[in-house]
Homo-oligomer: A and B are copies of this chain.
Amino acid sequence: METLNAIEALGALSQETRLEAFRTLVRHEPEGLPAGEIARHLSVPQNTMSTHLAILVNAGLAVSRREGRSVVYRARLATMEGLVSYLLKDCCQGQACLPTIETTKGQCR
Interface residues of A (CB under 8 A from B): 3, 6-7, 10-11, 13-16, 19, 22-23, 26-27, 29, 75, 77-78, 80-81, 83-85, 87-89, 91-101, 103-105, 107-109
Contact = CB atoms under 8 A, between A and B. Distances in A.
A105 B77 CA distance: 18
A29 B93 CA distance: 11
A19 B97 contact: no
Given A13-B14, A75-B92, A97-B108, 20 more contacts: A3-B16, A7-B15, A10-B19, A11-B11, A11-B14, A13-B87, A77-B95, A80-B91, A84-B87, A84-B96, A84-B100, A84-B104, A85-B103, A88-B108, A89-B104, A94-B107, A95-B109, A97-B109, A98-B109, A101-B108
B89 A107 contact: yes
A2 to B, nearest CB: 12
B91 A97 contact: no
Contact of A91 (B22, B85, B89, B103): B22
